[in-house]
Amino acid sequence: MKKVIFLLTVLLSFGLGAGSEASAARKATSSQMQKLKLKKKWRAYDPGEVFFRDNAPQTEGSKIYNRIIPEPAPYIRENALLVLQTLYRGPKDPNVPKLKRIYYSLDDYNGVSEKYGHGDHVGIRYSTRWIERSFAGGDTARLDYETRGVLYHELTHAYQLEPKNCGQYTDGGEYWCFIEGMADAVRVACGCFEQDFQSKDRPRAETWRKGYRVAGYFLYWIQLNKDKDFLRKFNRSAAELETWSWDAAMRHVLGDRPENGVEALWAEYRRAIGEVE
């Protein structure tokens, strides 16, 4: 984790925005960095060669990013390994995707970030406009928290498995909910959304089918309370189930009992976090 430790030194040297929020952000970021430890078995693993390109060097967002992250390729590589260890037990897992190249670019556009490509070559775009918004008030810790979080989300898309025979990404159904829910679950698990279920980072919703953070926090809660390897097993269920569904995957991982159906678990989760009685 030398790169992460180095980054923290850089962040603190630039300083944070004034006020209690900046101070809290600094403490939170430091705490999260201490929790994220890359296991020895992943250290020599090649997550794919990183090619970084700045397509918007004239923008303020580009200048901010390059000032705070002067060596983006090793930064991206290190965080890619953290995502991989969150999704898989180890490099010998036969399901681990073998990426050859990760193209990462800064681009001037309205939006946040997006992953594109498939197979062993993938790309990630990060918006310089979003960087500028995240750096509002000069809060460097907040920007790092957001930048790493967005990176965890998009890298999950690069490495996660894809469930079979359960729709398409565009229909907002079970496949889409798995893809986006897992990406935000990994982001929560890696400490770049607040892990407090009362936090404003966790949206309130009537159904897990909203995907993204709604599904992500739900999955993270199951890992905390049902199975410490749940995210890895849930990801692996995409390869193990010929016809995948949220309900089938929950029962496959936790046991085929009524209380392990997705709706029963969702109801238990909402009661446990105090959202309903």
pLDDT digits (tens, 9 = 90+) for 212-239: 999 999 999 999 999 999 999 999 999 9
Query: Position of tokens 């939006």?
Result: 111
Partnered with residue 53 across adjacent β-strands are 105
Residue at a domain's end among 116, 140, 159 = 159
Within a domain: 137: yes
Residue at a domain's end among 106, 133, 159 = 159
For residue 35, the model assigns a pLDDT of: 59
Q: In terms of domains, do 11 and 144 share one?
A: yes
* Nearest alpha carbon to residue 130 among 106, 160, 161, 94: 106
Which of the residues in the chain have pLDDT under 70? 1-35
Within a domain: 164: no
* Nearest alpha carbon to residue 135 among 31, 16, 227, 19: 16
Task: Say how far apart CA 117 and CA 115 lie, in whole Å.
Answer: 7
Number of domains into which the chain is organized: 2
Cα end-to-end span (Å), the chain: 43
Task: Say how far apart CA 159 and CA 99 lie, in whole Å.
Answer: 8
Residue at a domain's end among 127, 159, 191 = 159
Partnered with residue 54 across adjacent β-strands are 106
Residue 263, domain extent: 169-272
Contacts of 21 (CB under 8 A, 6+ apart): 139
Q: In terms of domains, do 107 and 73 share one?
A: yes
Within a domain: 277: no
Tokens found for residue 17? 């925005």
Q: In terms of domains, do 91 and 225 share one?
A: no
